[in-house]
Amino acid sequence: MWDVHGRQARIALLIVVAAMAIALAVIEALAAHAEPPDRGTTPWTPHLQQIDRALRRNNVNVATREWHDAYVAALGSGRWQGMLAVGDAALRIGDASRSRMTGATRAHHAYLSALFRARDERSLEGVLRTGEALAALGDTGLAIYCLRIAEPLLAVEPHGPAAQRFPVLRGRVGEPVTADRGPAYSCPDPSACPSPSASPSAAR
């Protein structure tokens, strides 16, 4: 009788082990098909990905919620790249929701923050990319101001990849480069545009 019970116990154990092996195989198969996490992902990137997924489903409400999360993540990162990307996303949501003015307002605010951060980092690429975004938004005045900030940075790295953006932006806004940084470089709103040589400001 003990032999019968022993065989039954061994059979039950084998069934449990087989079930566990099958479960592990399924988990491994699912993991193999899943996208591996990108350790270099910036904090705002997952939210931007969710925004694009939501917009493909025409779900503007979800996209808007994710945009706010992306904005907070970009703001906390302290990097100009995040604010620039968040501004671009605001325009995409504005187009999808047929509320372009709201999208443009949010984008403009994010771009201005990106400009201050790029200036503080002395990033020629950041300043010029932000200038391009502002020019596309229709704010020629601030785009010209970006040229003013970029000019001394260009002197430091005149042959780098970012330097090629300078003449393109200059031609886009239709303003010449002047040695004395005259009226062509005047900021349209001095309160919003501190001096390019100013120390890093709290306004981000």
Residue 114 tokens read as 């990106």
Report helix, strand or coil for 40.
coil
Amino acid letter for position 52: D
Q: How far apart are CA 164 and CA 171, in angstroms?
A: 12
- Alpha-carbon dihedral sign for residues 185, 187, 190, 195: negative
Answer for the pair 96, 55: CB distance below 8 angstroms, yes or no. Answer: yes
User: Taking the model in full, what pTM does it have?
Assistant: 0.69
Answer for the pair 50, 66: CB distance below 8 angstroms, yes or no. Answer: yes
Locate the domains of the chain by residue range.
44-121, 124-194
Q: How far apart are CA 138 and CA 134, in angstroms?
A: 6
Q: How far apart are CA 182 and CA 178, in angstroms?
A: 6
DSSP 200: P
Q: What are phi and psi of 33, to 5 degrees?
A: -90, -10
Q: What is the pLDDT along the chain (204 residues), one digit of tens a residue?
A: 545 555 665 666 556 545 554 654 444 444 334 344 344 589 999 999 999 999 999 999 999 999 999 999 999 999 999 999 999 999 999 999 888 899 999 999 999 999 999 999 999 999 999 999 999 999 999 999 999 999 999 998 888 889 999 999 999 998 655 434 443 444 545 455 544 444 333 334
Chain centroid, CA 174 distance in Å:
28
- Residues 6 or more apart whose Cβ sits within 8 Å of residue 114: 80, 81, 82, 83, 84, 87, 126, 130, 133
